[in-house]
Amino acid sequence: MTAVDTDLDEHWMRQAIAAARDAEARGEIPVGTCIVSGETLLAVAGNRTRTDIDPTAHAELVALREAARKIGNYRLPDVVVYSTIEPCAMCAGGLVQARVRRLVYGAADERAGAVESRFRICDTDFLNHRIAVTAGVLEEDCRKLMQQFFRARRGG
């Protein structure tokens, strides 16, 4: 098992938060993701569903596509994925398919989170790959970003 470096996790989560803010500036739901191999940033993305008119353009999948192209392989067994919000079922499934080593996320998604809140896609015995998960990195910052976005959208 690999030791967890909290300072490093926070550093990369800040990159994901910046991507979430960029997504919000484009009118997207503010979710951001970055993918790291060792100390190398392979990809960073925010949600692009509205921008790309693509229901699969969640931050996690956009970043997975970019990282896979960069390394020339659809398998990403040595990477760590940082996401501001607990991934949904589609994104968690993508992480498993890519054989991601570790997922770090900020805030839980009680309604649709598929890593720990609703389903356990990343560590279920039914699939052939399990992902190490670290939750709650810069959790309050990630949660506030989402809460403020939805509060503003509701007009209050």
Find tokens 């398998």 and name the residue.
75
Cα–Cα distance measured from residue 126 to residue 128, given in angstroms and rounded to the nearest whole number: 7
CB atoms closer than 10 angstroms to residue 60? 29
60 catalytically annotated = yes
Q: Which of 24, 28, 60, 86 is catalytic?
A: 60
CA distances from 6 to 1, 10, 34, 117, 140 (A): 15, 6, 16, 22, 15
Between the alpha carbon of residue 4 and those of residues 10, 37, 44, 63, 84, the distances in Å are 11, 14, 21, 22, 18
Catalytic site positions? 60
